[in-house]
Amino acid sequence: MAAWLRQKTITGCRSRFPCPAERRKLSLRKILIVEDDAEIAMLEKDYLEINGFEAEIIANGKQALSTLQRGSYDLVLLDLMLPGQNGYDICRQIRDKIDIPILMVTARTESADKIRGLGLGADDYIAKPFDPTELVARVKSHLNRYERLTGSAKGSKDKTILIRDLKIMPKSWKVYKGETEIKLPNREFELLLFLAENPNSVFSKEQLFEKIWGLDYVGDSATVTVHINRIREKIEDNPSKPKIIETVWGAGYRLNP
């Protein structure tokens, strides 16, 4: 066992887990842990459960998507280096099928790995070795934000926004390009909606990061660039020469109606 892992291992914590009756009353939010290292997976599971979550472990990447589709999960903790199928492929498959927060947990700490993960639709990127209390804090933050977003969508007026051949429907959280529905994860939808509600206005990456991700989010403004590029790939006729979301060099981004 790695030294950092020994230091973080919980001793005797299972006596503090909610009993079955308490779990039913709490309606615990359910986390799927996709991790082939049993010790790390159990560490994540232990810390999540003592903080009031229900957690399940899957060690094989190929089982992750089918498990998510069969069950009802609120968030995924996804390792990158898995047997059978790597975490990047799994992230892309999950994002194509299910709208759920995805947090990558990995020993790969290069910026290129982080950008690739975020570009495939991950909501956050946590490097090993990690502080389990920080991991739990990030899980809570993403779940709370996701619930606020979906809750505000249900209560919003479905005032359709029309931009060129795009139709953005805030209440149903749907986007159409012509007659084709465009699938956008929550962050991408919220970013596009914010720009669409403020046409012709220029926002810096820092402003967009603060508005969409919040001040309590651990990350940097490069995340905005990744998500803008992903949105462009889906809504622009020519993503390499975008017409809808324009880059204003030295200033930020602007949506042209």
Domains annotated on the chain, with CATH: 3-150 (3.40.50.2300), 156-255 (1.10.10.10)
Based on C-alpha coordinates, what's the Rg of the chain? Answer: 19
Instruction: Report the pLDDT value the prediction gives residue 74, as an integer from 0 to 100.
Output: 92
- How far apart CA 10 and CA 8 sit, in angstroms, is 6
Instruction: Report the pLDDT value the prediction gives residue 5, as an integer from 0 to 100.
Output: 60
For residue 129, say if its preceding peptide bond is cis, omega within 30 degrees of 0.
yes
Provide the mean pLDDT of the chain: 83
Instruction: Report the pLDDT value the prediction gives residue 156, as an integer from 0 to 100.
Output: 52
Instruction: Report the pLDDT value the prediction gives residue 232, as an integer from 0 to 100.
Output: 97
Instruction: Report the pLDDT value the prediction gives residue 15, as an integer from 0 to 100.
Output: 38
Q: Which of 85, 79, 62 is nearest to 122 (CA)?
A: 79
Exposure on the CB side of residue 79, measured as CA atoms within 13 A:
24
pLDDT over 50 at 51, yes or no:
yes
- How far apart CA 226 and CA 107 sit, in angstroms, is 21
pLDDT over 50 at 207, yes or no:
yes
Instruction: Report the pLDDT value the prediction gives residue 209, as an integer from 0 to 100.
Output: 86
More confident residue, 28 or 142: 142
Most confident of 43-47, 84-88, 216-220: 43-47
Side chain identity at residue 39, one-letter code: E
Total residue length of the chain? 257
pLDDT bin (cut points 50, 70, 90) of residue 26 is very low
Cβ atoms 255, 198 nearer than 8 A: yes
pLDDT bin (cut points 50, 70, 90) of residue 157 is low
Side chain identity at residue 136, one-letter code: V
Return the percentage of the chain with pLDDT > 90, whole number.
Answer: 42
Instruction: Report the pLDDT value the prediction gives residue 202, as an integer from 0 to 100.
Output: 96
pLDDT bin (cut points 50, 70, 90) of residue 201 is very high
Instruction: Report the pLDDT value the prediction gives residue 20, as an integer from 0 to 100.
Output: 43
Instruction: Report the pLDDT value the prediction gives residue 216, as an integer from 0 to 100.
Output: 54
More confident residue, 7 or 26: 7
